[in-house]
Structure 1
């Protein structure tokens, strides 16, 4: 298992404590640490939990790739690697359920569990790949008209009870087939954070592999606890990644006006989103006082 840590705090211990009941297999956890300052990764080290300092905040995909190289160096790898955020909590038998799901799909490369939110609802973690139409429509309308048709098409969450193919799966927890991951060269390190899981799902699909949603496997995820504390960084990174994803898929010279329009539109949206978030936080702080 690989997890990327960045001052994970109390979440890391809860994450590690949930693993023994999640599988009958022995697990070695590689913590690719991107510069934690809270001491939590150091405190968690033991025989089966290995701390791998990456040298700084190098980004999510780059940290995963560094950990994969460490797995190969140590010779502890096998057919699968499980990638999970350190704020996830695994239900009993959830990892074994992912492995059983993988056994049913020999051309499956990525396998994702049902993700339970704090209120008990299911997060739409198995989504369609974004197109220009549903991506732009979701970006513009998602925050003001939740049930708009563009968001519905993109979230693809009408059936979250059936084992099925998806365009991409949330990177908060992914079981990945090493042969498929090696074939496409791992994660794209140009994505500092956000969209690296979308890009992964698309590149796997283009290489002839599938992504499978496995709802019998269940985790709980305290999503965004670290990212939410740094809105200036994370909102910019999110919009930069959205542009990179679409620009990579529209690379022709005659598509340059489209890329320029996307870049400008996403930059403006990033500014608006940041101002809205800062206003919300200021209002919350005022009400708390």
Structure 2
């Protein structure tokens, strides 16, 4: 780590889409972090009043700005746009359904300072009941792991090493990720070819391939309500998740396999979408309609 990285401030990027229910609490928690230099909200064409709420907050807060996109290019593209709006040596990518306790950013920076080549540092994501998010610590994605877990949501989950404050992992969650700008720029940022999901697995894998480390701060808890923006469009989310799985497989696994694997993997992903993801999305949509 360079001296500039160790002493510099942090630019935070929050990508919002119909996130009004949690967005203000997220932004207030970020603005309360002393190392924060700039907070950029990238709005991907929200249909609720997310933009109005951010504008109202920004009127009295010079560190806060709103980047309004007229369409939804996806999470990765919006993260890149937000990162380009600043120049601080550290980037913090945060979902709008996260809330950071006081001192979170200082503790993450202290952990990162102890790592020779920091690439991505995640936190101990927990829901309102204190349950840990299995996506916070993950293996690399592979077809074998998905098949072994029968396509389950937690197929890549790594167990928490309770006695270890800083746990090396293959991938951490894009819901909250501290990244040195130099590492971000070295790998070309997020891959905008992903629309939703899997982009964080790709990002972490490319960081590690470039010689940077990925870890999770087990002693830094962060509240993560999880999935607030995606609940309104479950089918859309599942479709793009499976597109992401295909893109990831083609980049990292396909080059080492015979061409005959491509139609087989495409068929397996189509079957997972049809038999598991589609019914789950439809059931969730029906449940939400009944609750209204």
TM-score, normalised to structure 1, is 0.88
Equivalent position SS for 2:96: coil
What does residue 192 of structure 2 align with? 189
1:259 paired residue among 258, 262, 272 = 262
Cα contact 2:16–2:44 (8 A) shared by 1:
yes
> What do you get for the CA RMSD once the two structures are aligned?
2.0
Cα contact 2:44–2:70 (8 A) shared by 1:
yes
Q: Aligned partners of 2:115 and 2:194: how far apart in 1?
A: 28
Moved more, 244-253 or 230-239: 244-253
How far the C-alpha of 1:108 sits from its partner, in A, is 1.3
Q: Aligned partners of 2:162 and 2:145: how far apart in 1?
A: 20
1:156 aligns with 2:158: yes
The C-alpha deviation readout for 1:35-92, integer Å capped at 9, x for no partner, is 0122223322312210112331001100111112222xxxxx2221111011111112
1:279 aligns with 2:280: no
What does residue 29 of structure 1 align with? 39
Equivalent position SS for 1:200: helix
Cα contact 1:94–1:216 (8 A) shared by 2:
no
How far the C-alpha of 1:136 sits from its partner, in A, is 2.5
The C-alpha deviation readout for 1:110-156, integer Å capped at 9, x for no partner, is 01110011221111201111223113223x1526xx7xxxx3xx211
Q: Aligned partners of 1:103 and 1:54: how far apart in 2?
A: 35
Q: Aligned partners of 2:163 and 2:51: how far apart in 1?
A: 35
For structure 1, which runs of at least 5 residues remain unmatched after alignment?
Answer: 72-76
Cα contact 1:5–1:36 (8 A) shared by 2:
yes
What does residue 8 of structure 2 align with? none
What does residue 83 of structure 1 align with? 93
What does residue 68 of structure 2 align with? 53
What does residue 74 of structure 1 align with? none
The 3 A distance-change label for structure 1 pair 94 and 269 is same
Number of aligned residues: 273
Q: Aligned partners of 1:160 and 1:41: how far apart in 2?
A: 40
Q: Aligned partners of 2:172 and 2:243: how far apart in 1?
A: 20
1:40 paired residue among 50, 64, 67 = 50
Q: Aligned partners of 1:198 and 1:183: how far apart in 2?
A: 17
1:65 aligns with 2:76: no
Superposed, 1:1-289 pairs within 5 Å as 1-21=12-32, 23-45=33-55, 46=58, 47-71=62-86, 77-124=87-134, 125-138=136-149, 140=150, 142=152, 151=155, 154-160=156-162, 162=164, 163-252=166-255, 255-272=258-275, 273-279=277-283, 281-282=285-286
For structure 2, which runs of at least 5 residues remain unmatched after alignment?
Answer: 1-11
Equivalent position SS for 2:216: strand
The 3 A distance-change label for structure 1 pair 161 and 33 is farther
Q: Aligned partners of 1:284 and 1:104: how far apart in 2?
A: 45
Equivalent position SS for 1:189: coil
The 3 A distance-change label for structure 1 pair 160 and 33 is farther
Equivalent position SS for 2:278: helix
Q: Aligned partners of 1:263 and 1:211: how far apart in 2?
A: 29
